[in-house]
A and B are shown apart, each in its own frame.
Chain A
Amino acid sequence: MGIATSSLTGTVRARQSRGFDLQLLLFVSLLIAFGVLMGYSVGFSGAAGSGLSQTVKTLIWIGIGLTLFFVAASVDYHWLETFTWPIYVLVLALLGVNLLIGRDINGAQLSLTIAGLDFQFSEIAKVLMIVVLASYLTKRRERIGRLSTIVGAAVLMGIPTVLVFRQPDLGTALVFVAILGGMLFMAGASIGWMGVTAGVTIGVAPLAVNALHAYQRQRLFCFLDPGQDPQGACYQLVQALNAVGSGGWFGQGLTAGEHNRLGYLPVQSTDFIYTVVAEELGLVGGLVLLALLALLVWRILVIGWGARDALGTLVAAGLASMILFQVLVNVGMVMGIMPVTGIPLPFITYGGSSMISLLFGMGILQSIRMNARKPTF
């Protein structure tokens, strides 16, 4: 694979020429294109404001994101290690500010508006926390098997997790937890101690559930029995299942999905975008999107495996964990096998902060790739 990549990127000069990963770029580009298409379809229905302006906005975000991608790709990712602590402080500050003055979106403080564009700090915080955690675990690599490593990482991750949870943004908080777990696992942390920690976490989970707003709690458990409140809290889920089920093999056609077109999915452009995919493009479209996401995760793991050092491996592991978890929860949610929480589908869900953060992360990955050791397989 690496050989093929090398030959395709032969025009890129110097030592970077070896690593630029066209596959990563290809998968990301296809996903972004897929997302734009679905965003257009949703906008076309008129259900989510004027379609074109939303698509234009998305394109602006993608432009900013791609710039970040190439900047990050062209810089050696080790600068991240240097700035670990400032980055961590920045994350806490951003989340703190957000919690204090953030704007209300559907009852939760999730974003700030800068220059007319909404920005959700929690999205960029996810990527930044991957870097912070990777840096921390790299430093602890001699003592990786100890309980203290796990506790340290948990504390490091716990503070922003609580801040996000208090917004309240249960979904992002869960993503933080998933990133922590995935990175500890890939870093080689003690399976036994991780199990104990997980047990304790699950033990205190009811407390967290209790701290949720009633509407969140209700939504959370709809997936167990969507029929319990089909017009109320579970309305979205019931409609989502109907929409997905209506897709069939090939779907009802782009922009022609009845649920999408008639506005039956109140947040279809954000969290429920996969229902539009399934309804309008059917099983085939839904599987293509899943396959693209699977290829992306696979590619990230490959890049991590081939990274020059622990930092690269762990950043990749973090990004893979994040994307995998978000896909699982988001797609599982609209299909009724995961609780309903507000977690975006990477690259597909409309949202500038998510797009920018992901492209920034992909840029770091590209940098990892280009600074990788020679191909080993």
Chain B
Amino acid sequence: MSTVYNWQLGREMAYPFEEKHPRRQFAFVFNINRCIGCQTCTMACKSTWTFSKGQEHMWWNNVETKPYGGYPQHWDAKLLGMLEAANPGGQSWNAATADDDAKPYGAFDGKTIFEAAPNHVGPDGPQVALGYLPTDAEWRSPNIHEDVAAGEQWKEGRFGGSAQLPEHRVWFFYLARICNHCTYPACLAACPRQAIYKRPEDGIVLIDQERCRGYRKCVEGCPYKKVMYRGTTRTSEKCVGCYPRVEGKDESISPGGEPCETRCMSACVGKIRLQGLVAVDDDGRWTREPSNPLYYLIRDRKVALPLYPQFGTEPNGFYIPPRWAPRGYLTQMFGPGVDHALEQYVCPDRELLAVLQLFRTQRQILYRFAIEQGPKVAEIPVVLPSGRERVQEIFNDTVVGYNKFDKEVVRITIEEPTFERPKALHVNSI
């Protein structure tokens, strides 16, 4: 085992391979507050990558309903239980040590899946990363009963038939998930044939189908269960980060070689998604780029948080937490940065409000943004989650997004104008 630095945990940790980092890293932010669970992203991915024989159970992108949902079922509850069993009472954070650079969320005092693995001896000996192999039944029925946990009996001809679950007063949220293209991937670490690799140009994690022999150690090791086994080819497959689009090599949408967001991101109707590439230093820290929208949201403002950072893989998917879910549940899921993130999101200042407008305004990846200041248009009293009151000032600023070649590709104002097309004057008026 080597020692590597995990900035999300605020400390060094054990990992089977030496620390090495890509020049840029595929990363994304999902705003859970806006997700309506329409599954358009799910179908965009399915119809692009996993429509063939043997891939019927594969949903590289899925949207599950928390707290009951999971694909495969109970994936996070199971692994959290295994970690707790491996380190009873010790899976805690020390948020008091937080600093802006090396420890944005403080330090994690518990065990990661790599640190807990050596003591977990299964039939095949110790694991490289603590994990389990989901059963076929757990893969089989994504979304079953997730939204209808009220314990209601099935009624003919009516939506909402459910299993008999205890009723919790209504709160849930939709958690959209794809592969996190982790900095320290557990799938890569667990592969006995080193068939999985992380690309140096964009950090996308891929499986070499020539080398893969279908041992399913990656399926067992990935804590997010985003590697899936395909029976027809006897290999494992996973989200490829739509790499032809990210490379700008899909000629139909990138005639000039402009990197584009993935299919699932581009298809999002709720405008919850923003994807991009962040620059990474040799030591694994993100290069300071305050005008990169992802760097700004994740590192500068800390409004978007990693999913289960305590697993230790340093995932590169980040979420703006839902502000209605119980705080303890959110802290378990996103770490101790939840309070700060929600205070930021509920009452955004003019800069943050402008950057939040960039979600799903452009298919091309935005490398930089700039804000043109406009007049103040409103003042709104806001009660923060902490109970403090603040007045939110709203300015009609304009945010401008630039692509890889520093060409302006989007321009949007806070106050979005409505265009009215006079009926008689346009040939395609309805």
Is this pair of chains taken from one and the same complex? no
